[in-house]
Structures are given as structure tokens and as C-alpha cells.
């Protein structure tokens, strides 16, 4: 696991956008996309690079981490709609190459199994972008999630529904259920990039990076991954015990060693 601490949210977005662009420029890739506020700056930078003609996604696929259950397919807050609005409608990714779990299927467990099969059929995810919830969730794997989980139905905690109420008219409108990639599904990606911004994320980041690996902090599974990069602004790094070491390691990173 590599922890990269940079001064500002903008610097963090630049680092993460650089990792995505380097991958996509090297080969057709399968990108795992997260919704939420954390990756917005990254998506804006990538869109700018695309508009400047420096990166193309025409040969790529993209997959969603999670999706609400119970919203109408044309609801503006489905994660498919959000990711299209915030990112993929502004690049040359073919709409049919943006994949998500089928939350409108009659048989949701079967839809979850199909989604895991689809990810495998694409050859696996090359790079999975992740945010982290205030309660330590990744995707919508809330505390208590099995460390061996695959894509399945989860119930959101009250805290997560309250957090996400900002996108809805009221907290009551936030769905209670979601389909989310499980912790094993997420960990199957070849590279995990977790991005966290702001003081509110300092405690969950410290638990995920330096605490025990536990279902109580699902993001702590990143410690088991052979290629995990955690990109933080200074505020999100505020509770890390080894912050000076991470800064020193990144400052002295050899030029031949990519993130
Ligand atoms: C989004 C997702 C969530 C968010 C997390 C942080 O697809 O799966 O895990 O990444 O809730 O959200 P923000 O970035 O809004 O703080």
C-alpha cells in the first residue's frame, strides 16, 4: 500500500487523473468508477485532458461500484445517471460500455451474480477508484460487511443515508437498499486507488490505513491488496501516525517507479 499525501484537493485530483490517464494511454482498460464528491475534481481534470485531445477512452470499458435499488430508471440520482453527468458523457466512452448492476431485475441475487460474471468476462477491472465513507465504507459495503463478500444487496446505514440526503429533496427519499460490489469483488481489481479529501475523512482514513483489518471498517481491506494507492489531501491525512514517513517516501520516489 502506498499513501500519497499532497497539499490540496486539487493536487490529489491531479495525481489520480495522472494515474488513470497513464493507464488508458498504455492500453484499453477496464475502469472502475466511484460516484460521490471525492472523485469529481479527478473527473474534471480527465475531461479537460480528453477535450485537449490528450486521452481517449474509445477502447475502454467502465464499471460502476454500486447502484441504488428502488429509484426509477430515469431518476437523476441513479449512479449511472450521476456518473454519466459528472464524467462519461464528456469523454468518448461508448454509452453501452458503461456497465452497472441491474437493480431493476426481478431476481436481485441473480443480477448480482451476473454482474460479477460480467466483470470477469471483461477480463477484470484494471483500476478501481474508491472513495471512503465517514463510517469506513467502500462501495456501499457498510460496517459489518463480510470481508469475503461479492456483489450483493446491502442496506445503507442511517449515517450514509443522511450523508447522501444532500442529493435528494429529503433524507427520506434516499433509498435504503443498494447493490454493491463486495469487498472481494473490489479487491479483484488489479489496482485500487482510494481518494479522500477533507478533515471529515481523517478518522476513517486512519482506521482504513493504519487500523486493524476488520469488517467494522470495510475500507481496511485495502491493506491486503498487492497494489493499493491511497491519495489524500493534508486534511484527510490529519490522523495518520506515519504521515511523515509517507511524505518522505513519496518525495523520494524514484522516477522509474510509477504509482
Ligand atoms: C460511491 C461510493 C461510496 C463513496 C463514499 C464517499 O460510488 O461507493 O463509497 O465513495 O460514500 O462519498 P464522498 O466522496 O461523497 O464523500
What's the gap in Å between 134 CA and the centre of ligand 1?
Answer: 9
Instruction: With respect to residue 50, please indicate whether it lies within any of the assigned structural domains.
Output: yes
pLDDT score for 10: 98
Selection from 237, 227, 202 nearest residue 4 by Cα: 237
What's the gap in Å between 85 CA and the centre of ligand 1?
Answer: 16
Distance CA 85, CA 202 (A): 28
Instruction: With respect to residue 259, please indicate whether it lies within any of the assigned structural domains.
Output: no
Give residue-wise pLDDT tens across range 171-208: 899 999 999 999 999 999 999 999 999 999 999 999 99
Instruction: With respect to residue 4, please indicate whether it lies within any of the assigned structural domains.
Output: no
Radius of gyration of the chain (CA): 17
Percentage of the chain lying above the pLDDT 70 cut: 100
Residue 65 belongs to domain spanning: 12-251
Q: Number of folded domains in the chain?
A: 1
Instruction: With respect to residue 172, please indicate whether it lies within any of the assigned structural domains.
Output: yes
pLDDT score for 97: 98
Instruction: With respect to residue 256, please indicate whether it lies within any of the assigned structural domains.
Output: no
Instruction: With respect to residue 110, please indicate whether it lies within any of the assigned structural domains.
Output: yes
- 37 CB near ligand 1 (under 6 Å): yes
Looking at residue 37, which CATH number applies to its domain?
A: 3.40.50.1360
pLDDT score for 17: 98
Give residue-wise pLDDT tens across range 128-187: 999 999 999 999 999 999 999 999 999 999 999 999 999 999 889 999 999 999 999 999
pLDDT score for 195: 98
> Where would I find the H helices in 158-201?
158-164, 183-187
Catalytic residue (one of 49, 61, 66, 233): 66
Distance CA 232, CA 197 (A): 6
Instruction: With respect to residue 17, please indicate whether it lies within any of the assigned structural domains.
Output: yes
Amino acid at each position: 500500500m502506498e499513501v500519497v499525501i499532497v497539499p490540496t484537493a486539487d493536487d490529489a485530483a491531479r495525481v489520480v487523473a495522472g494515474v488513470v490517464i497513464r493507464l488508458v494511454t498504455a492500453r484499453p482498460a477496464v475502469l472502475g468508477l466511484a460516484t460521490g464528491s471525492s472523485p469529481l475534481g479527478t473527473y474534471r481534470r480527465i475531461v479537460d485532458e480528453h477535450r485537449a485531445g490528450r486521452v481517449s477512452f474509445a477502447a475502454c470499458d467502465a464499471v460502476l461500484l454500486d447502484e441504488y435499488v428502488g429509484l426509477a430508471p430515469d431518476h437523476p440520482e441513479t449512479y449511472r445517471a450521476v456518473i454519466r453527468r459528472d464524467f462519461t458523457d464528456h469523454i468518448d466512452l461508448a454509452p453501452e460500455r458503461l456497465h452497472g448492476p441491474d437493480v431493476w431485475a426481478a431476481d436481485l441475487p441473480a443480477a448480482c451474480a451476473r454482474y460479477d460474471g460480467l466483470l470477469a468476462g471483461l477480463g477484470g477491472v484494471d483500476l478501481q477508484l474508491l472513495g471512503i465513507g465517514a463510517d469506513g465504507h467502500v462501495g456501499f459495503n457498510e460496517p459489518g460487511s463480510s470481508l469475503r463478500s461479492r456483489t450483493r444487496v446491502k442496506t445503507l446505514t442511517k449515517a450514509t443515508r443522511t450523508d447522501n440526503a444532500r442529493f435528494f429533496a429529503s433524507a427520506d427519499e434516499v433509498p435504503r437498499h443498494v447493490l454493491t460490489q463486495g469487498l472481494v469483488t473490489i479487491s479483484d481489481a488489479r489496482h485500487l486507488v482510494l481518494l479522500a479529501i477533507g478533515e471529515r475523512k481523517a478518522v476513517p482514513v486512519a482506521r482504513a490505513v493504519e487500523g486493524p483489518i476488520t469488517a467494522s471498517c470495510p475500507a481496511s481491506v485495502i491493506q491486503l491488496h498487492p497494489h493499493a494507492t491511497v491519495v489524500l489531501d493534508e486534511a484527510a491525512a490529519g490522523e495518520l501516525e506515519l504521515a511523515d514517513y509517507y511524505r518522505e517516501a513519496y518525495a523520494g520516489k524514484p522516477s522509474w517507479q510509477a504509482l
